[in-house]
């Protein structure tokens, strides 16, 4: 057991990766540990909720990282996340508006949020029970409430995993009260939930600036949204994503995202190649710079500046920008050629 504790950082990484077992997800796309980007379900049971969520993550040498939030939600796109720790911050998502309070009030345009973590967890529990895909561990009394204890086990890469729930009913909805993740019989995280309101009326002003302490208001641009796949990104865009037909050897996609404004969004993907990052950005538009090369028959612009290589071109009414370190410029060229389906026949160095 001592050996496993010392290796817990490695185990936690594997454990996080293994959670994709549930939804075949490709990465943690949430920008916060409090909520996930999930597809809105037409059959969700929770239409409104206020609850408190305390998460404990076990670290090396038995250290524990704790976060504590009060979360309020009204279906489909009103979410408030209030940090209950010493440093008090409040995040509000209300339609296409994101509001952050951290002593000042900052407002950004965003894509609508799709729900707090507990909604995904409730649906997961519902599916587990429906499919009888769980192990029953008995009943326990917590805070004068009788809870049913169930768990789901699986194996991955020679490690044993388990997700364990203590569940009970509120207003005829089965909800988690405790959730734990185990890797090789070691608890790596524990989340406890306490509920204030479930499917009861919530004041809409809770999701407005008026609910925050009086402060300066700063209009602060836009808030990007990470997603889990190219297909999910495509749902938010008003143009078709253009991707390499085949990625050069060694290049892997790492982060996929979309950027407001919602009416004219853009797409990005971050790739890794031998420790270097390659950035792909796409939006509706035209190449406004004078071309100094061609990819097949498509005019392009190639710039080398401050150790960064940038290639830009217009394809199917989409402005495409690829950039990365000059040390991997050959990989950039290969990606561009694969996307435009032509050879880069000429380019000039531009300072």
pLDDT digits (tens, 9 = 90+) for 232-249: 999 999 999 999 999 999
Q: What single DSSP character describes residue 40?
A: P
Per-residue model confidence (pLDDT) at position 345: 81
d(CA 38, CA 46): 14
d(CA 204, CA 218): 22
d(CA 281, CA 323): 9
Q: Name the class of domain 2-219.
A: mainly beta
Domain chopping of the chain, boundaries: 2-219, 224-346
Per-residue model confidence (pLDDT) at position 343: 95
pLDDT at 351 over 70: no
Helix (H) or strand (E) holding 80: strand 78-83
CATH code, residues 224-346: 3.30.200.100
d(CA 223, CA 158): 39
Q: What is the pLDDT of residues 249-280, one digit of tens each?
A: 999 999 999 999 999 999 999 999 999 999 99
Percent share of the chain, pLDDT over 70 = 86
Q: What is the pLDDT of residues 1-40, one digit of tens each?
A: 333 333 333 334 434 433 333 333 333 333 333 333 333 3
235 phi, psi to nearest 5 deg: -60, -25
Per-residue model confidence (pLDDT) at position 253: 96
pLDDT at 281 over 90: yes
Residue 75 preceded by cis peptide, ω within 30: no
Tokens of 339: 């996307």
Nearest to 319 by CA among 342, 293, 289, 346: 289
Q: Once rounded to an integer, what is the mean pLDDT over residues 94-116?
A: 95
Query: Do residues 260 and 96 make contact, with C-beta atoms less than 8 angstroms apart?
Result: yes
Per-residue model confidence (pLDDT) at position 138: 98
Residue 77: CB partners within 8 Å, gap ≥ 6?
A: 93, 94, 95, 112, 113, 114
Bridge partners of 140? 147
Per-residue model confidence (pLDDT) at position 349: 55
Per-residue model confidence (pLDDT) at position 246: 94
pLDDT band at 85 (very low <50, low <70, confident <90, very high): confident
d(CA 96, CA 98): 7
69 phi, psi to nearest 5 deg: -135, 150
The sign of the CA dihedral 39, 44, 50, 53 is negative
Per-residue model confidence (pLDDT) at position 217: 97
pLDDT at 199 over 80: yes
CB atoms within 10 A of CB 198: 20
d(CA 213, CA 53): 23
pLDDT at 307 over 90: yes
Tokens of 309: 């290589």
pLDDT band at 347 (very low <50, low <70, confident <90, very high): low
Query: Do residues 82 and 101 make contact, with C-beta atoms less than 8 angstroms apart?
Result: no
d(CA 196, CA 341): 57
Sheet holding 97-101, edge to edge: 135-142, 145-156, 159-170, 173-183, 186-198, 48-58, 64-74, 78-83, 90-94, 97-101, 105-109, 217-222
**What size, in residues, is the chain?**
351
pLDDT at 42 over 80: no
Say what the pTM is: 0.79
């Amino acid at each position: 057991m001592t050996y496993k504790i010392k290796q817990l950082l490695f185990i936690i990484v594997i454990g996080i990766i293994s959670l994709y077992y549930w939804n075949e997800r490709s990465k943690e796309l949430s920008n916060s540990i409090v909520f996930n980007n999930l597809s809105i379900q037409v059959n969700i049971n929770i239409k409104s909720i206020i609850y408190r969520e305390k998460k404990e993550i076990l670290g090396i040498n038995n250290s524990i990282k704790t976060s504590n939030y009060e979360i309020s939600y009204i279906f489909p796109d009103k979410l408030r996340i209030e940090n209950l720790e010493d440093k008090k911050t409040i995040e509000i998502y209300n339609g296409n508006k994101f509001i952050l309070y951290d002593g000042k009030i900052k407002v950004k345009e965003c894509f609508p949020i799709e729900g707090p973590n507990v909604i995904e967890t409730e649906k997961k529990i519902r599916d587990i029970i429906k499919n009888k895909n769980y192990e029953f561990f008995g009943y326990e009394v917590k805070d004068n409430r009788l809870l049913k204890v169930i768990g789901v086990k699986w194996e991955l890469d020679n490690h044993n995993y388990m997700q364990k729930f203590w569940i009970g009913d509120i207003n005829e909805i089965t909800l988690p009260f405790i959730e734990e993740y185990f890797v090789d019989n070691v608890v790596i995280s524990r989340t406890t939930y306490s509920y204030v309101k479930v499917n009861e009326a919530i004041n809409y002003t809770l999701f407005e600036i008026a609910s925050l302490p009086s402060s300066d208001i700063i209009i602060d641009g836009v808030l990007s949204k990470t997603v889990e796949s190219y297909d999910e990104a495509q749902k938010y865009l008003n143009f078709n994503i253009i991707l390499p037909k085949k990625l050069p050897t060694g290049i892997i996609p790492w982060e996929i995202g979309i950027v407001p404004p919602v009416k004219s969004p853009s797409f990005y993907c971050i790739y890794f190649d031998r420790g270097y990052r390659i950035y792909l950005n796409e939006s509706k538009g035209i190449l406004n710079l004078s071309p100094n090369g061609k990819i097949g028959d498509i005019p392009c612009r190639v710039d080398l500046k401050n150790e960064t290589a940038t290639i830009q071109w217009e394809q199917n009414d989409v402005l495409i920008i690829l950039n990365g370190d000059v040390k991997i410029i050959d990989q950039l060229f290969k990606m561009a050629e694969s996307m435009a389906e032509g050879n880069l026949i000429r380019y000039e160095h531009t300072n």
